[in-house]
């Protein structure tokens, strides 16, 4: 097969055009570059037959989009085929492929999986699909990447539908639901139990007031969105790759309006301990921000590209001497590392998951730690942290700058999804190391035109 990009046993992409037979050479152990990227270029949609050598051990999204694929041969045995690690994206290749021919027999492919009443995955890219009667639950991402799916029928037996169930089902035009728990009304599929909008088949949508939350891909097929009065949506988690920017902006404005109604954080009002802090700031000549929430007075300072927040007791002023000493370091032009040390030396508490604008993490970042924090601007992760959790900074739309130390060994899926303003990420290691520490599904989830500053140069994602 011509025009193949191969590196260290990984077949990354085939740039050939209009081929019908694809022969993968022996020695290849991994087919496909990542979970998200297809093996064949956009100009090649006519593959009918594929041969895989027995050396293959892992397959990523490989053959997604090959609607004519009807024959797949594997050079190893059926047991060896069953040991090959395959992502669910591999099967998104139409409905013509029914079996895998191995050296000692044939392995039949199931079009979908149902276990204990749960439909866990639809493997084939159907145009129309009727969920079997008796299915009580549709699992997370069950129909993800079924890009040809136009019509879906849901039986009365279905009681629950999972998250991101219809991710990237961009052709979905009709949903017929007999389920009383998950009805489809006026083109809107929603859960009655949670009042969560799951999917829509309309381009122009008015979201009812009873809807409290949106699935990440609920509005992927919309071009316009409006809201009934009295809306309750206070979080925007729409997937930035699938949802139109205008739609996301409209939802974000609704979220901000609804948050303002129920906000628990008080506006800045310099009284009591925060008034004292303001006086100390004026005395020091340091430019900083002060605000007060229900449990603390917050001092926020910047150090070049990063910042940190100090949380001080609103019921005591015993911290004033320590704050004065800390502010001396700020005025002297200390960088973020020096400011962290100055805060620790003066026994001042640095905000991490409680931070509003400037977050500093000195321990592993938990899953969904700063989930849709719309005010967050900078994130500094201190040396010694090893993990950045799944969806840790999801939809932090004002996040601009991130620092990641070389101690980090894992960046989990969706950690930085939906960060529209993020343009610069600094990683204290090489670019190849940066790619290695990301989970498979995190690669390709970064926003557009993000520059990663590594020890061996600057790279654009």
CB 352 within 8 A of CB 321: no
Do residues 266 and 292 lie in contact, with contact meaning Cβ atoms separated by under 8 Å? yes
Could you report the per-residue pLDDT of 428-440, keeping only the tens digit for each? 999 999 989 988 6
| pLDDT beyond 50 at 271 | no
Q: What is the pLDDT of residue 268?
A: 37
**Per mean pLDDT, which range of 6-15, 73-82, 139-148, 348-357 is the poorest?**
6-15
pLDDT band of 338, cuts 50, 70, 90 = very high
Beta bridge partners of 286: none
Distance between CA atoms of 120 and 116, rounded to whole angstroms? 10
Long-range contacts of 450-457 (CB under 8 A, 24+ apart): 450/422, 450/423, 450/424, 450/425, 451/423, 451/424, 451/425, 452/425, 452/426, 452/427, 453/424, 453/425, 453/426, 453/427, 454/427, 454/429, 454/430, 455/427, 455/428, 455/429, 455/430, 456/430, 456/431, 457/431
Question: With contact defined as beta carbons under 8 Å apart, do 151 and 177 qualify?
Answer: no
**Cβ–Cβ under 8 Å, residues 257 and 227:** no
- pLDDT value at position 52? 93
- Residues 49 and 458: beta-carbon distance below 8 Å: no
Q: CA 96 from chain center: how many Å?
A: 32
- pLDDT reading at 371 higher than 70: yes
Q: What token pair was written down for 428?
A: 């204290």
- The rounded distance, in Å, linking the Cα atoms of 181 and 304 is 52
Q: 229-244 pLDDT, tens per residue?
A: 888 888 777 877 788 9
What average pLDDT does the chain have? 87
């Amino acid at each position: 097969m011509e025009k193949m990009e191969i590196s260290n046993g990984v077949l990354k992409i085939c740039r050939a055009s209009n081929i019908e037979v694809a022969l993968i050479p022996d020695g290849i152990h991994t087919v496909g570059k990542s979970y998200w990227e297809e093996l064949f270029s956009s100009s090649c949609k006519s593959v009918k037959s594929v041969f895989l050598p027995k050396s293959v051990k892992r397959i990523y999204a490989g053959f997604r989009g090959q609607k004519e694929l009807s024959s797949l041969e594997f050079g190893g045995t059926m047991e060896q085929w069953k040991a090959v690690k395959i992502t669910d994206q591999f099967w998104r290749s139409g409905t013509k492929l029914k079996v895998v021919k191995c050296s000692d027999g044939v392995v039949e492919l199931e079009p979908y999986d149902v276990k204990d009443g749960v439909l866990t995955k639809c493997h084939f890219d159907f145009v129309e699909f009727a969920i079997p009667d008796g299915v009580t639950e549709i699992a997370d991402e069950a129909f993800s990447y079924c890009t040809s799916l136009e019509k879906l029928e849901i039986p009365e037996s279905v009681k629950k539908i999972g998250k991101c169930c219809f991710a990237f089902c961009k052709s979905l035009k009709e949903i017929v639901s007999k389920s009383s728990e998950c009805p489809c009304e006026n083109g809107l599929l929603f859960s009655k139990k949670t009042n969560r909008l799951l999917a829509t088949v309309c381009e122009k949508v008015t979201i009812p007031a009873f809807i409290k939350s949106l699935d990440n891909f609920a509005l992927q097929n919309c071009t316009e969105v409006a809201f009934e009065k009295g809306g309750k949506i206070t979080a925007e988690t729409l997937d930035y790759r699938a949802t139109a920017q205008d739609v996301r902006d409209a939802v974000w404005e609704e979220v901000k309006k609804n948050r303002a109604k129920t906000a628990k954080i008080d506006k800045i009002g310099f009284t009591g301990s925060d008034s004292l802090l303001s006086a100390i700031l004026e005395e020091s000549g340091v430019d900083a921000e002060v605000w007060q929430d229900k449990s603390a007075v917050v001092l926020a300072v910047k150090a070049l590209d990063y910042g940190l927040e100090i949380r001080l007791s609103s019921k005591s002023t015993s911290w004033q001497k320590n704050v004065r000493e800390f502010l001396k370091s700020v005025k002297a032009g200390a960088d973020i590392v020096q400011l962290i040390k100055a805060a620790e030396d003066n026994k001042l508490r640095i905000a991490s998951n409680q931070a509003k604008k400037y977050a500093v993490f000195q321990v592993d970042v938990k899953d969904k730690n700063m989930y849709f924090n719309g005010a967050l601007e900078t994130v500094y992760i201190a040396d010694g942290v090893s993990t950045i959790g799944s969806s840790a900074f999801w939809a932090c739309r004002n996040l601009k700058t991130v620092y990641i130390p070389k101690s980090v060994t894992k960046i989990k899926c969706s950690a930085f999804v939906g960060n529209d303003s993020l343009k610069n990420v600094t990683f204290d290691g090489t670019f190849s190391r940066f790619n290695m520490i990301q989970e498979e599904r995190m690669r390709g989830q970064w926003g557009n035109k993000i520059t990663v500053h590594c020890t061996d140069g600057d790279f654009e994602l």
